[in-house]
A and B are shown apart, each in its own frame.
Chain A
């Protein structure tokens, strides 16, 4: 039986499906480990060793080093687990949103406020 035709892409939106879940497993597993303060400290102590321990691919490691969310999504990262990675660097959701939109945090906040008008 043929698989169902793909649904139309929602612009600027990454649905975390089975493909992403497979691709991003190691990356997300590392981020899940950051629920523990001890693991966050271990990551900060030696980021490279920590990434190797969780068997990240070279391109996943590069995305972690770059701290670029769109790149991490491309590597199969899931927003809920990536948020824990962002938290290590005290980045909040508006920092993350602004980075992905390519705007300043103030511009991003203004955009949100405008959505409520």
Chain B
């Protein structure tokens, strides 16, 4: 059976790609963000995952409002990136892990999740930046299964449903007949809001409580409705749903404990309160 090594969470902001491209990681603005990563890269170097299941949200690159899936699972051999409208630097295509994609798809549908499957899928900064942040050197050493959660068009799936989805994905990975090592990644958040008169809204107190809950009380945030979460974290802070899915994916099986490897929290990058977390499963 496949081995689940743990879960990672990071914010994604298009400007991060620009900073990496310019080599600006040690500039005063960027340093408090990028300095969170080396301890996690060290742990990844020791644990050597082969595959990543990426919980993220598309930002209007692959999905338009003509067809907007609540949950979509990639089943492609390769995932291409694009400039997303801003002319941002693009990365080479990422390799998929098709067998695992179908394990996850089969199990999710069996568990009554009515997902969309994607054999062709562009992946945006939300999917690509975490890979570049965790594995900055050379070609990406892990294959990917993207799991996209709608945060674009309301109604959104509620936190409890997303937690259940993550748990089911974790079950599928745990049952995968493979010798490969798998990590879950959450991409998004933490609190931020791009639009409206409340643009720039950040809620440090809630973010820190949420990060803590992922270690010790993983279902804490599922008590809130989507409306309450938007109020507390902003219209884009709702991307914390991906973190809930990642954490839930670690809660399956006999060994459901987690140990924090490292975390970081920094305000602001662009308009965002950035979070970073690595949890080892034991």
Contacts and interface: CB of A to CB of B under 8 A. Distances in A.
Contacts of B266: 116
A10 B199 contact: no
23 contacts: A7-B227, A10-B198, A12-B197, A15-B154, A17-B154, A28-B64, A28-B65, A32-B64, A34-B85, A35-B60, A35-B85, A40-B85, A70-B196, A78-B60, A78-B65, A79-B194, A84-B86, A97-B200, A100-B196, A109-B268, A111-B200, A115-B202, A115-B273
Interface centre among A88, A108, A116 (most CB of B within 10 A): A116
Interface in B21-75: 59-61, 64-66
A56 interface: no
A interface, over-half SS: helix
B138 interface: no
B202 A112 contact: yes
Nearest to B197: A12
B90 to A, nearest CB: 11
B84 interface: yes
B238 to A, nearest CB: 10
Contacts of B197: 11-12, 70, 100-101
- Range for the number of chain A residues in contact with chain B: 35 or more
Contact of A14 (B87, B227, B235, B273): B235
A13 B193 contact: yes
Interface residues of B, number: 40
A4 to B, nearest CB: 11
Interface string A1-40: 0000001001111111110010001001101101101001
Contacts, number: 134
Interface in A31-62: 31-32, 34-35, 37, 40
B198 A84 contact: no
Contacts of A73: 195-196
Nearest to B85: A84
A88 B87 CA distance: 9
B2 interface: no
Interface centre among A7, A13, A83 (most CB of B within 10 A): A13
Interface in A86-117: 87-88, 92-94, 96-97, 100-101, 108-109, 111-113, 115-116
